[in-house]
Amino acid sequence: MSVQSESPVWHPFTQHALQAEIPEIARAKGAILQTASGRKILDAISSWWVVTHGHRHPHIMDAIKRQCDVLDHVIFAGFTHEPAERLAQELIRLAPAGLSHVFYSDSGSTAVEVGLKMALGYWHNRGEPRSRILALEHAYHGDTVGTMSAGARGVFNEAYGPLLFDVERLPFPVSGSEQGTFDALEAACRDQAVAALIVEPLILGAGGMLTWPAETLAEMKRICERFDVLLIADEVMTGWGRTGTLFACEQAGITPDILCLAKGITGGSMPLAATLATAPIFEAHYSQDRTRTFYHSSSYTANPIACAAALANVGIWQSEPVGQRISTLSTLQSERLNRFSGDQRFSSLRQCGTIAAMDLACGDPGYLAGVGPRLYDFFLERDVLLRPLGSTIYVLPPYCVTAQDLDKIYDAISDAAELVNAA
């Protein structure tokens, strides 16, 4: 069954004039989405990078049901509740050492907005107003005006350009020319009133699944420290095991000043986000003077049901061999990716933990090139959900995916390359 064009629903990142039919998903379990008519689709992108352990993990579903029996929601200014308190303790325990405060919101974009505002508030309240933000070329940090400003400019935000604030963009640290990025970072820190550098650690997601090494991140952190510039780690995608460790920053051995978490924080079941900060950032807002308050909130800040789901997610990391599962998945991914090494149809095979990506050789690689939607349709006909970024095909599955599932995904990728080359 499909929803036809008379539906009043306006879908995200969807050109309705070109998309006639949108399948209706009725159920999901593990790595499988099931349509209302019973068709089964393999979710090879974790429903936009959010589902970690698999759809409807029983511990998370049970925790949500239990929380529904006691407290649905309460205003989080002037009140607190147990799920939020316990989750904050757990996040501080799990995150890189030195982060001491947790601010809740409800999406990756809001987690990043909060991080940017914390950074500017920190400098403002210290009487040393710094407002310049540094970001990486090809970055993606969300779709609100502030996060679009930090992200790369392009077709996605062209119409809103007049509203976006200017940021200093550092060249993406391409392997072998990292020095150019370090030099640009140093020059910006020296010459401008820089509040913070924001990065997606180890892999840039929406910018094309571009990987970069942990040592480069460690060096960037050292440069930031030298100039007292705050480092904001946007781990909205990379968090919760995607890169092979719980958080990507661990691989660089660094603690960012601000850490943004969302997507996998509830295992992909409920919208929730958290922005973690170090003590100095909290203390810059801690004052008898009310003007120094951190003025930010969303209506659903720290929703108890979402916090309960996140606590269950943390529990799964403790009670199940998630680390082992992730390392097995990483190996399975690399074996299948290797199948394409030396294959002229693909280039830039790359992997970061559980995420694998490659570029399909074709005439027009841009996002708006017809190839992305054509690939999407081809994969969906094969009952595989893959959503290429232009000609970049990536596989970002839930951790419960099997070797057979992955074979099905990579067979479809191989066949898709035939289709594109034949066209």
Ligand X SMILES: *Cc1c(COP(=O)(O)O)cnc(C)c1O
Which residues contribute to the site for ligand X (CB under 6 A)?
107-109, 112, 140-142, 200, 205-206, 234, 236-237, 262
Q: Are 177 and 144 in contact (CB under 8 A)?
A: no
List beta partners, residue 392.
359, 389
Q: Does the annotation list 222 as a binding residue?
A: no
Give the CB-side neighbour count of residue 336, counting CA atoms within 13 A: 26
Instruction: Name the minimum Å distance from CB 232 to ligand X.
Output: 11
Q: Does the annotation list 234 as a binding residue?
A: yes
**Closest residue by Cα to residue 264 from 34, 420, 52:** 52
Which pair of tokens denotes residue 245? Answer: 């460790």
Q: Are 113 and 149 in contact (CB under 8 A)?
A: no
Which pair of tokens denotes residue 109? Answer: 């974009």
Of 200 and 219, nearer to ligand X (C-beta) is 200
Of 110 and 125, nearer to ligand X (C-beta) is 110
Distance CA 193, CA 285 (A): 20
Q: Are 251 and 202 in contact (CB under 8 A)?
A: yes
Of 205 and 420, nearer to ligand X (C-beta) is 205
Q: Does the annotation list 298 as a binding residue?
A: yes
Of 264 and 304, nearer to ligand X (C-beta) is 264
Instruction: Name the minimum Å distance from CB 80 to ligand X.
Output: 24
Instruction: Name the minimum Å distance from CB 356 to ligand X.
Output: 17
Q: Does the annotation list 363 as a binding residue?
A: no
Question: What DSSP element (H or E) covers 91?
Answer: helix 82-94
Q: List phi, psi (to 5°) of 19.
A: -115, 100
Which pair of tokens denotes residue 318? Answer: 């403790």
Q: Are 231 and 280 in contact (CB under 8 A)?
A: no
Q: Does the annotation list 109 as a binding residue?
A: yes
Distance CA 180, CA 183 (A): 5
Q: Does the annotation list 146 as a binding residue?
A: no
Of 262 and 385, nearer to ligand X (C-beta) is 262
Instruction: Name the minimum Å distance from CB 112 to ligand X.
Output: 5
Extended beta strands in 244-331, E state: 258-261, 273-278
Instruction: Name the minimum Å distance from CB 245 to ligand X.
Output: 16
Distance CA 26, CA 6 (A): 20
Q: Does the annotation list 317 as a binding residue?
A: no
Of 202 and 284, nearer to ligand X (C-beta) is 202
Instruction: Name the minimum Å distance from CB 139 to ligand X.
Output: 8
Instruction: Reduce the DSSP state of residue 275 to 3 states and report it.
Output: strand
Of 13 and 79, nearer to ligand X (C-beta) is 13
Instruction: Name the minimum Å distance from CB 12 to ligand X.
Output: 9
Q: Does the annotation list 394 as a binding residue?
A: no
Instruction: Name the minimum Å distance from CB 107 to ligand X.
Output: 4
Of 135 and 417, nearer to ligand X (C-beta) is 135
Q: Does the annotation list 108 as a binding residue?
A: yes
Instruction: Name the minimum Å distance from CB 227 to ligand X.
Output: 24
Q: Does the annotation list 140 as a binding residue?
A: yes
Of 109 and 278, nearer to ligand X (C-beta) is 109
Extended beta strands in 268-400, E state: 273-278, 346-352, 355-360, 384-385, 392-395
CA 29, 32, 35, 37 torsion-angle sign:
negative
The alpha helices in 106-248, defined as continuous H runs, are 108-125, 145-150, 178-191, 214-226
Query: Which residue's Cβ has the minimum distance to ligand X?
Result: 108
Instruction: Reduce the DSSP state of residue 299 to 3 states and report it.
Output: coil
Residue 79: exposure state from Cβ atoms within 10 A (0-12, 13-18, ≥19): exposed
Binding residues for substrate: 48, 140, 263, 297, 387
Binding residues for pyridoxal 5'-phosphate: 108-109, 234, 298-299
Binding residues: 48, 108-109, 140, 234, 263, 297-299, 387
